[in-house]
Structure 1
Amino acid sequence: MDDLQQRPMYTTPPLAPLPTIPTHPPGIVTTPAPGSTPFPATSLPPLHPPGVTVADDSFMAEADGAQDTTAPAPKSPVRNVLVRRANEEPAAEYEASEESRKAKERQEQAIQQIMLNRRAKALAVPTNDAIVRSRLRSLDQPITLFGEREMERRERLRALMAQLDANGELDRFLASTHAFGAALAEDIAAKEEERMEEVQTAPFFTEGPPALLQTRIDIMKYSLSRAASRIMRMKQKRENPDEDEDAELDYVLERMSNISMNCSQIGDDRPLSSCAFSPDGDILATSGWSGVTKLWAVDTMERTITLRGHTERVTSVVFSPTNKNLATASADRTAILWGLDGSCLKKFEGHLDRLARLAFHPSGAYLGTASFDKTWRLWDVNTGIELLLQEGHSRSVYGIAFQCDGSLVATGGLDALARVWDLRTGRSILALEGHVKPVLGLDFSPNGYHLATGGEDHTCRVWDLRKRRTLYMIPAHNSLVSQVKYEPFEGYVLATASFDNTCKIWSARDFKPMKTLVGHEGKVMGIDMTGDGQLVASVSYDRTIKIWGDKS
């Protein structure tokens, strides 16, 4: 014990700091690796924004016995990262569950829609539009929506009934509907169908002026004599051994296949709409959108007379068969009869909409006009009175043509229908159905029983009135056929004009193409042929007149 007290006491010297050993040779500056961040020399900033409370780190302090638990332990960056991750994990789980809930809702909605579609397909929905409207009204739904058609309205009712079926209310709705609404709707629909059938099938008559009866008698007498003369002439020609119809036809076809452009002339400041040769072939009349009609000398193509009288564009011009006057139709809803000296003889007023085409009766005593008011009218040329107002087309009437005997008249409408009327009785004797688009041009063959029609469906149809059907369908052009014209003397050839900028000549025997007249730079609006078939005239949207003929 004494020895221990006599021994000197030693104290532990303080630890000296370890020398710093450089990790790289002197003069070399370290560069952090690409994409890495060097550890900062200063203390790291707090990982949580001010005011955010983090979990207590006392459990870490208890594990470390060297620290005082009474003082707050310094926040370690590693522990802060762990705390932050612990706090973020519940939020990530919450976000995932929210997305899953939305996806589940979408899936349930899709399944419900599929089930509704299956129910809708199995439902019996009425096809009568009146019943469909009645049931929509009983559901407090609008009976029709803007631009909605019958099929779309029926599908809307189907969807509503499927929804009622899903809610278990369909049986009650059908019971109430059948009790009152369906019976009423069916009764209304039946009456409507009966009324429509009666309108469609029952002919109706319109009272005409007293002069109409005498007109029908005069037309009957005129047509009977003309028909007898035509039949006698055809019979004699067939029985005469000196007559070789095939040789004559071959000659005409050969001549027409050799025609070319003789001249081209600017006809107006605006597009031209129609042209017509006089019966003797010396004068050519043209009409245009400028509202004037011009007469030209065929030999020199010099303008002789300008006819002014319409306030709108002139849509058609035609010469009288007697070669005494001509008539024009206009968009101002009037037609005017002109003298060859340029004087205005008569003005025909009465149509409620613009005129499209007009034609003279073969006797020259009557004038027919076709209008966009869905009617065609017959006028007395001498008195200027309206003899007949004829309905029959469901849409605008565009074309009109008289048969060579004078007993029949044909009209073509934008309803894709051509009708043949008997002027002696006033009845529609034939409805020619075949065009799928509006009928724009018509012309009778000189043989009296063939009718050519041109339409917006790019075709020309030749009808045999004796068989009451299409004789031949010509796929004529690449665009609508604006006008058709038979050669007036024998009808050996047929000419067509089209909006594809061309005219074509066809054989009336087998309807083969003989010649394509190319030269216009715009839509060909009208075409005509001289009485002997020597010349063809065409007018176009490009404002030009072109004369075609055989130069040999």
Structure 2
Amino acid sequence: MDPLALDEPVSEEKTEKEVASLWDHEALSQIPVKVLRGHTDCVSSCKFCFGDTRLLTGSHDKTAIFWDVETGAQLMVLKGGHSAAIAGCCLVPEKNRVITSSWDKNVNAWDLETGKILWTVAQGGLLMSCSVSGDGKYVASASDMENALYINCADTGQRLHYMQGHHKSTVMSCQFDAQSQHLASVSADRSIKLWDLCSHKTTLTINSAHKNVISSCCFTRNGHYLCTASWDQTLHLWDVQTGSYRKKGGIQLSKGHDGSISSCAFSNDASVLVSGAYDRTLTLWDMKGLCKTLVLKGHLDWVTDVDISADKNWVVSSSKDSTVRMWNIEQSEYIPAVIETRRAQGMGFQILKCEECGKSFSVSRLENTSLITKCVFCRLKAPDRYLPAPPCL
């Protein structure tokens, strides 16, 4: 069966209302959805901003739109600045500026108050994505020409760094961590690199276990974990802070999609991961149990990007079907299908063997197992080794 096919055939003569009704038979149709229409071509990027009261989207129709989340109204349309598809867009924190990267090889900075372009920089090569550092100082863009990364000043557009041949194949995505210390990049060569903003060097290279192009990546807010999404239909979690993956590899999340995964995003507290794919679905993952909890269906074409609000009540997705959808997942844990999924998949624990008594015990898969080698009973026998020493008198 074609994984991109709808559950039921859709004839061209059906109205939009009839098409939407195709999903009524889904157990998860209890999820309220807002559909935002305004773009006329594939919507390539979507991001919550301004405390989740606004939404920023970029499209192959060469425009970016600023939306009001509550009403769904278009507050501003940024147009006339690109001659080809916009591949990525993001907001410069606290500066009312929008950055757009395009297949026309240019990066633009827009003033949200006037809608005018503040600066334009030609980078060379099709630009696949862009990212702004958490402190608002830097703009990074990934190019397919010479497999390069560019870093520019967010205020002036001045080029600060150019990493030629950073990967062996097209750089698909780049992402700053929230601390503005590292820039992660992923590539069609299936590798992951972390570039250090202080030393101006590549400090980490991971030749991943992904079996196809790595399309996207995202950091947890504390910078501890990096998630990579791939066309091999899997997501991998990498502990980039301790490097524990060096022994066992990354933690794999699979069986969440039937098509290539295009995008991923963590919630602020890293308890939820959302992914979007070319099978037209979104999947929500519980990070404590490392299990799939919810699948959202409704888009009529590829899902290109996803994001999740800070309060974890809303998930937004952009699609090749030219729409943006906002999914209210606030009450999702009470849906019978979700409860059953959690029960069936368990809470994602791994079984270890105690090095002292030899008995088996369980820990979360996200725990650093190099620090936990004994069961709780053996640890309680020798508490001094696991508790901090008392202060000196």
Under TM normalisation by the shorter chain, which class is it? 0.5 to 0.7
Q: Cα distance 1:503–1:401, how it changes in 2: closer, same or farther (>3 A)? A: same
Distance 2:253 2:30 in 1: 19
- Cα shift readout 1:388-445 (whole Å, capped 9, x = no counterpart): 11112x2111111011110111111111100111124432111123212111111111
Partner of 1:487: 220
Distance 1:539 1:459 in 2: 21
Give unmatched runs, 5+ long, in structure 1. Answer: 1-265, 271-289, 291-298
Residue in structure 2 matching 1:536, options 273, 277, 286 = 273
Q: Does 1:339 align with 2:68?
A: yes
Distance 1:464 1:268 in 2: 43
Residue in structure 2 matching 1:309, options 32, 38, 60 = 38
Distance 1:463 1:351 in 2: 29
Native 8 Å contact 2:182 2:196 kept in 1 = yes
Residue in structure 1 matching 2:120, options 389, 392, 412 = 389
Partner of 1:412: 142
Q: Does 1:475 align with 2:211?
A: no
Residue in structure 2 matching 1:431, options 162, 165, 169 = 162
Say which SS state the counterpart of residue 32 (structure 2) adopts: strand
Equivalent position amino acid for 2:270 in 1: G
Instruction: Report sequence identity in percent.
Output: 27
Q: For structure 1, which segment, 447-456 or 521-530, has the greater mean C-alpha deviation from structure 2 after superposition? A: 447-456
- Cα shift readout 1:57-82 (whole Å, capped 9, x = no counterpart): xxxxxxxxxxxxxxxxxxxxxxxxxx
Say which SS state the counterpart of residue 384 (structure 1) adopts: coil
- Cα shift readout 1:488-536 (whole Å, capped 9, x = no counterpart): 2x11100010111111110022442442110111100110000111100
Equivalent position amino acid for 2:115 in 1: G
- Cα shift readout 1:9-55 (whole Å, capped 9, x = no counterpart): xxxxxxxxxxxxxxxxxxxxxxxxxxxxxxxxxxxxxxxxxxxxxxx
Partner of 2:260: 523
- Cα shift readout 1:422-477 (whole Å, capped 9, x = no counterpart): 12443211112321211111111123221100111111111112222211111122
Distance 1:303 1:459 in 2: 38
Quote the offset at 1:363 in angstroms.
Answer: 1.7
Partner of 2:174: 442
Distance 1:388 1:356 in 2: 18
Q: Does 1:499 align with 2:236?
A: no
Say which SS state the counterpart of residue 528 (structure 1) adopts: strand
Equivalent position amino acid for 2:214 in 1: V
Q: Cα distance 1:321–1:364, how it changes in 2: closer, same or farther (>3 A)? A: farther
Partner of 1:66: none
- Cα shift readout 1:111-139 (whole Å, capped 9, x = no counterpart): xxxxxxxxxxxxxxxxxxxxxxxxxxxxx
Native 8 Å contact 1:432 1:469 kept in 2 = no
Quote the offset at 1:377 in angstroms.
Answer: 0.7
Q: Does 1:548 align with 2:281?
A: no
Choose between structure 1 and 2: higher helix proportion: 1
Equivalent position amino acid for 1:482 in 2: S
Equivalent position amino acid for 1:386 in 2: I
Equivalent position amino acid for 2:213 in 1: L
Quote the offset at 1:540 in angstroms.
Answer: 0.7
Native 8 Å contact 2:4 2:279 kept in 1 = no
Distance 1:546 1:268 in 2: 17
- Cα shift readout 1:228-275 (whole Å, capped 9, x = no counterpart): xxxxxxxxxxxxxxxxxxxxxxxxxxxxxxxxxxxxxx99969xxxxx
> Superposed, which structure 2 residues align to 1:65-76 within 5 Å?
none
RMSD over aligned CA atoms reads 2.4
Distance 1:521 1:332 in 2: 28
Partner of 2:133: 403
Partner of 1:360: 91
Say which SS state the counterpart of residue 360 (structure 1) adopts: strand
Distance 1:269 1:389 in 2: 41
Q: Cα distance 1:342–1:269, how it changes in 2: closer, same or farther (>3 A)? A: farther
Partner of 2:100: 369
Q: Does 1:457 align with 2:189?
A: yes
Native 8 Å contact 1:356 1:399 kept in 2 = yes
Say which SS state the counterpart of residue 548 (structure 1) adopts: strand
> Superposed, which structure 2 residues align to 1:242-261 within 5 Å?
none
Q: Cα distance 1:371–1:268, how it changes in 2: closer, same or farther (>3 A)? A: farther
Distance 2:269 2:77 in 1: 31
Q: TM-score, normalised by structure 2?
A: 0.62
Q: Cα distance 1:367–1:301, how it changes in 2: closer, same or farther (>3 A)? A: farther
Runs of 4+ in 1 over 2 A off after TM superposition: 266-270, 423-426
Of structures 1 and 2, the one with the larger relative CO (CA 8 A, separation 6+) is 2
Native 8 Å contact 2:4 2:259 kept in 1 = no
Distance 2:156 2:66 in 1: 27
Distance 1:515 1:524 in 2: 16
Q: Cα distance 1:352–1:268, how it changes in 2: closer, same or farther (>3 A)? A: farther
Say which SS state the counterpart of residue 302 (structure 1) adopts: coil
Equivalent position amino acid for 2:152 in 1: W
Say which SS state the counterpart of residue 467 (structure 1) adopts: coil
Equivalent position amino acid for 2:182 in 1: H
Distance 1:363 1:440 in 2: 27
Equivalent position amino acid for 1:421 in 2: N
Q: Cα distance 1:492–1:267, how it changes in 2: closer, same or farther (>3 A)? A: farther
Q: TM-score, normalised by structure 1?
A: 0.45
Q: Cα distance 1:268–1:304, how it changes in 2: closer, same or farther (>3 A)? A: farther
Distance 1:534 1:347 in 2: 34
Choose between structure 1 and 2: higher strand proportion: 2
Native 8 Å contact 2:4 2:278 kept in 1 = no
Partner of 1:324: 53
Distance 1:300 1:527 in 2: 22
Give unmatched runs, 5+ long, in structure 2. Answer: 8-18, 20-27, 290-346, 348-393
